[in-house]
Structure 1
């Protein structure tokens, strides 16, 4: 079987090398587990069933998305599929949350130049993030499975968790939050479950790639494997390819976005962190109990 796959890969690679205008398209479904959020919301007696339903509906929109990847041999653009929302259904806060959940803007990466460019909107301002592609130390395995008719191989790596990707946000264990004395002192205060979370330092990435499509591309910022990545599991998020079209007739222009204030990834993370701190201080000054996202980094 492996000899057949290798031979097929060589044939496809040879045909792609002669097709200068080759382009493919893949559809990905991204889903992030919200089980820990839902269980913590259910425990909060201050949240009514109606409020809980509204929160869960908004979380579903933020944590479940469809993306389109258009790619050639050297570059790709990854963008959330456009969908029509009811008028007024999305305010600035929801758009901001959506961008932190992997959506919003265009994610361009050039595997030849090893660079990426992403346009992001935050609080009404456009940013153009341009930086070097992070290199993952992939460990190739022999385990295989079939995805959409393609034979895929497993690869794993450890990835530094982004400080501005809140799909990595997780709830702290109850016995790690406060000792009994502190908990008793605050038992009558409204609970803000966002104050009970943290961000990990790194997450394990499990990818499944197919040598039958010998391009080193994948969803989001993932790349660097000897075949198109059809599935990625990172932390609580799974991104699964549901459709692949090779040599598409309706070719897209694969180029980096240009609108927005140019920043590096580090600069963008610092801007977001500062803005969130300002928002938390604003809530506290209004007499809230730290209504902003008080997130502990690390672990």
Structure 2
């Protein structure tokens, strides 16, 4: 009898310890991400690839460097629950976003993405200059390698992972297991926890969470702009390839549309 009582007490203790350890786990809420794009390098690479601009590269960059700040900063909001996420630009944007948007509207900066991880489906709205499209496709797997490096992001201890998208584009992510859905900004996912930090060196862009708010919420696609034309991923790639060719230089166009391909 005493052994039975001791076993029950021990079992309850283990359960209480488990509950205490999971007390800080977040399963739904809102995350604010700050995206920073190093525009000097971005514009320099575009100009160097453009057949009609590269000869005037020095003059163009002198004009840019003397007038604009080096980074474009854009804020995004991501609502998430256990199985879905909705990511879109914040209503209020920093001054550097507005200033640079008037001069050089970057493709991809207005992306919004609704992802249903149960169905492995994604609906994205993406703009490139005057063209806006809705893209319906499946979630693509990302090859990740978890590293030992850690850092604090928005008050959460995050661990580094190196990844590859499209077989060759290098990406660095920092995720926290304290937020359990394996999601992240844009279309990034697949780590054992929420991605709070992200770097795409090829595009000179980073995303870092500045605020995490736990909330009991259910995410839907009701905020998505569905008025535009909906296309498949294959149709989208064909469209942006044509737009790239219309920019006056295939290599320059290809460089810009990389900002839409994640």
TM-score (norm 1): 0.62
How far, CA to CA, are the matches of 2:195 and 2:99 in structure 1? 36
How far did residue 214 of structure 1 move? 1.4
RMSD: 3.8
Q: Which runs of 4+ in 1 moved over 3 A?
A: 6-13, 34-41, 43-54, 83-91, 121-126, 290-298
1:247 aligns with 2:206: no
Gapped regions of structure 2 (runs ≥ 5)? 1-17, 48-55
How far, CA to CA, are the matches of 1:155 and 1:231 in structure 2? 10
Q: Tell me the residue number matched to 1:46.
A: 59
- Kept in 1, the 8 Å contact 2:40–2:71? The answer is no
List per-residue Cα deviations over 1:139-193 (Å, max 9, x = no partner): 2233322222212122221112xxxxxxxxxxxxxxxxxxxxxxxxxxxxxxxxx
List per-residue Cα deviations over 1:224-281 (Å, max 9, x = no partner): 2221111111222211111000026xx575326333211122321211221232342x
> Size of the alignment, in residue pairs?
226
1:107 aligns with 2:113: yes
Q: Quick one: structure 1 residues 213 and 291, their matched pair in 2 at CA, closer, same or farther if it must change by over 3 Å? A: closer
Q: Tell me the residue number matched to 2:229.
A: 261
Gapped regions of structure 1 (runs ≥ 5)? 1-5, 17-22, 161-200, 281-289
- Kept in 1, the 8 Å contact 2:80–2:219? The answer is no
Q: Tell me the residue number matched to 2:9.
A: none
Within-5 A mapping of 1:1-299: 10-12=22-24, 16=27, 23-37=28-42, 44-47=57-60, 50=63, 52-54=65-67, 56-57=68-69, 60-61=71-72, 64-83=73-92, 94=104, 97-98=105-106, 100=107, 102-122=108-128, 124-160=130-166, 202-235=168-201, 236-247=204-215, 253-255=219-221, 257=224, 258-280=226-248, 293=252, 295=254
Q: Tell me the residue number matched to 1:170.
A: none
How far, CA to CA, are the matches of 1:118 and 1:103 in structure 2? 13
Q: Quick one: structure 1 residues 122 and 151, their matched pair in 2 at CA, closer, same or farther if it must change by over 3 Å? A: closer
How far, CA to CA, are the matches of 1:202 and 1:221 in structure 2? 17
- Kept in 2, the 8 Å contact 1:114–1:132? The answer is yes
How far did residue 33 of structure 1 move? 2.7
List per-residue Cα deviations over 1:111-155 (Å, max 9, x = no partner): 221111112244544411011111012222333222222121222
- Kept in 2, the 8 Å contact 1:211–1:227? The answer is yes
How far did residue 27 of structure 1 move? 0.6
- Kept in 2, the 8 Å contact 1:9–1:211? The answer is no
- Kept in 1, the 8 Å contact 2:38–2:71? The answer is no
